[in-house]
Each structure stands twice: as structure tokens, then as C-alpha cells.
Amino acid sequence: MRVLVVEDEKKVARALREGLEAEHYDVRVASSGEEGFFLVNHETFDCVVLDLMLPHRDGIEVLTTLRKRGLQTPVLILTAKDTVDDRVRGLDSGADDYLVKPFALPELLARIRALLRRGRPDQVLKLRQDDLEMDLVTRKVGRAGQTLELTVKEFEVLEYLLRHVGRIVSREMLTRDVWRIAARATPLDNVIDVTIARLRRKIDDPFATKLLQTVRGVGFVLRGAHG
């Protein structure tokens, strides 16, 4: 799942990025309200972490405008002011939850998980293929009751394959949508192949039924026991 962090304090932004990426979230960071507003309007996110005190365009203005435009994405606001008026102002502007700085990262992660569980009515929170299951909220993957430990990139590749079950996923698609690089290059093909090989060792090798298949010269496909 994708999380946008709008935070102008570099140390805080870096800590949030590292903490969220460690939990396998796909993170974008904006350092101003203007940049955050632009990203939300041009990309899709599952949750937004929004600081209220931002340069150029403060968090309340960004949030109010986004809600008026119909954005339903859950928003968690960060505020340095632990006052009732400040919290009420943020919630009345459309925030779903808030945290007061300084905060503990585990609490922020727990609040994000809660917002994602609440989510939108049409939001898919779990992906499955046969006995392979991915929980997009807890960022956990398991097969046949066994927990599988994946790296951030392995998780992203598997999520992409699960969203395209039964369809061939080319290296061009992975380059564009997972690595987010416009032009495909041979060195990246090697990185993709290594990532797929490592992923296969984790989700397939210990099990009788093989789900991840290579279509020579074309790409990869995730298929169930019955095709």
C-alpha cells in the first residue's frame, strides 16, 4: 500500500520513511503543502500522513481543499500543538485521526493500520491465490499457515503479481509499475530476475504446488493449482 508523508522537517520525514518502508509500505515524501497537494492530485495513495505546520500551504488548507474535491483517502494529521482547539480544527477539516509530536513510531504505525482497516468500502485489504495470502494492512505474507519473510521489493513484486493473477506480467510492466522507471534497461532486467528468483525460493520452493511461473521471453505469471 502507498503512503504519502507530507512533512517539512527532514529528520522527521526521514524517520517516517524508514519506519514505514521497514513495514513494507511504498512511501512518497513531500516537503511542502504545495508539493503534497500536487502529489495527491496526480497519484493514488492509500493513506496520507500530513503535518499541519508546512511552508507555502499549511496542512489545514491542503486538507480542506482535498476534502472539498471529494478525496476519500484516510488522512492522519501531525501537530506540534497539543491543544483541544488545534485537534478539533484538524478533525473538523476532514482528518481521520491525529498524533501530537513527538510521537512513538509504533503508535503511528498502529494508527495507520487502523485507518487502512477502516478504509474505503471498495478497498481490497487481502490478496490470495490458493494457500498464498497477503495482508495489505499488516504487511504480512503467508502460505499454508507459514509466515514468509519478504524484503520490501519482494513484497511489492508479489503484490503486483497477486493483483494480476493468471495474467502474464512482463519485465516492462515491473520496471514501470514496481521500480517506477520509465525506460527498461538490461541491468534492471538482471535485478528483476534476481528478485523473482529470491521470491520463488520463499513462496514456492518449500511447497509442492508451484505458483510462480516464468514464461520464457515474455515475463512471469502467478497461477493456482488448477491454472
Give the pLDDT band of residue 92 (cuts 50, 70, 90): confident
pTM of the model: 0.61
Kindly report which listed range (68-77, 83-92, 96-105, 124-133) carries the lowest average pLDDT score. Answer: 83-92
Q: Could you report the per-residue pLDDT of 19-54, keeping only the tens digit for each? A: 999 888 889 999 999 999 999 888 888 899 999 888
DSSP state of 214: E
Whether the pLDDT of residue 121 is over 70: the answer is: no
Q: Could you report the per-residue pLDDT of 171-181, keeping only the tens digit for each? A: 988 988 888 77
Under 8 Å between Cβ of 199 and 152:
no
The C-alpha cell that represents 192 in the structure block: 528483476
Using alpha carbons only, give the angle 14, 116, 43 rounded to the nearest 5 degrees: 60
Q: What average pLDDT does range 128-151 have in this prediction?
A: 91
Domains of the chain: 2-118 (3.40.50.2300), 126-222 (1.10.10.10)
Whether the pLDDT of residue 131 is over 60: the answer is: yes
Q: What is the pLDDT of residue 17?
A: 94
Under 8 Å between Cβ of 101 and 75:
no
The residues facing 142 across adjacent strands are 133, 147
Number of neighbouring beta carbons within 10 Å of residue 27: 20
Average pLDDT over the chain reads 87
Of the spans 50-54, 86-90, 203-207, which averages the highest pLDDT? 203-207
Distance between CA atoms of 95 and 108, rounded to whole angstroms? 15
Distance between CA atoms of 97 and 90, rounded to whole angstroms? 9
